[in-house]
Amino acid sequence: MTRPLDIAGLSAAYACGSVTPEQVFDEVMDAIAAHGERPVWISLASRDQLAVKLAEIRQRQDAGEAMPLFGIPFAVKDNIDVVGLETTAACPEFAYIPNRSATAVEKLEAAGAIVVGKTNLDQFATGLVGTRSPYGICTSVFDPAYISGGSSSGSAVAMAAGLVSFALGTDTAGSGRVPAGFNNIVGLKPTKGLISTRGVVPACRSQDCVSIFAGTAGEALRVLALAQGFDKEDDYARPAPHGIDAELPADFTFGVPENGLEFFGDDAAAALYGEAVDRLTSLGGTKVAIDFSPFRDAAKLLYQGPWVAERLAALRTFKFDNPGAVHPVVWDIIGSAERISAVDGFQSFYRLAALIRTAQAQWARMDVLLLPTTGTTYRIDQVLADPVNLNSNLGIYTNFANLMDLSAIAVPAGFRPGGLPFGVTLMGRAFEDYKIARLADRLHRAMPDASVGGTGRALPPEAPAAPIKPTGVTLAVVGAHLSGQPLNWQLTNRKARLVKSARSAPGYSLYALDGTVPAKPGLVYDGLGQGLIELEIWELDFAAFGSFVAEIPPPLGIGTVTLEDGTQVKSFLAEAYAVANSEDITMFGGWLNWLGRESLSAGRSNSA
CB contact at 8 A, 130 and 258:
no
Active site residue 77: yes
Q: Closest by alpha carbon to 166, among 189, 185, 192?
A: 185
Neighbour-count burial for 326-354, b at 16+ CB within 10 Å, e otherwise: bbebbbebbeebeebeeeeeeebeebbee
* pLDDT score, position 305: 77
* 193-225 residue pLDDT tens: 999 999 999 999 999 999 999 999 999 999 999
Distance CA 408, CA 263 (A): 20
Element (H, E) at 545: helix 542-550
Domain 7-445, CATH number (from 3.40.50.460, 1.25.40.10, 3.90.1300.10, 3.30.565.10): 3.90.1300.10
CB contact at 8 A, 252 and 367:
yes
Planar angle of CA 220, 278, 392, nearest 5 degrees: 60
Query: What stretches in the chain show pLDDT beneath 70?
Result: 319, 463-471, 530-531, 598-608
Q: What is the dihedral of CA 337, 343, 344, 347, to 10 degrees?
A: 150
Q: Give the chain's length.
A: 608
Q: Which amino acid is at 446?
A: A
DSSP designation for 149: -
CB contact at 8 A, 199 and 81:
yes
Handedness of CA 319, 129, 117, 180 (dihedral sign): positive
For domain 473-607, the question of CATH label 1.10.1130.10 is answered with no
* 299-316 residue pLDDT tens: 999 987 788 889 988 887
Of 175, 196, 211, 407, which residue is the catalytic one? 175
Of 43, 53, 77, 348, which residue is the catalytic one? 77
CB contact at 8 A, 195 and 210:
yes
Active site residue 211: no
Of 43, 140, 148, 151, which residue is the catalytic one? 151
CB contact at 8 A, 81 and 103:
no
Question: How far from the centroid of its chain's Cα atoms is residue 302's Cα?
Answer: 21
**Which residues, in sequence order, are CB contacts of 337 under 8 Å at separation 6+?**
308, 309, 311, 312
For the chain, which residues make up each domain, given as ranges?
A: 7-445, 473-607
Distance CA 33, CA 13 (A): 24
User: Sheet holding 583-584: strands in order across?
Assistant: 521-529, 507-512, 583-584
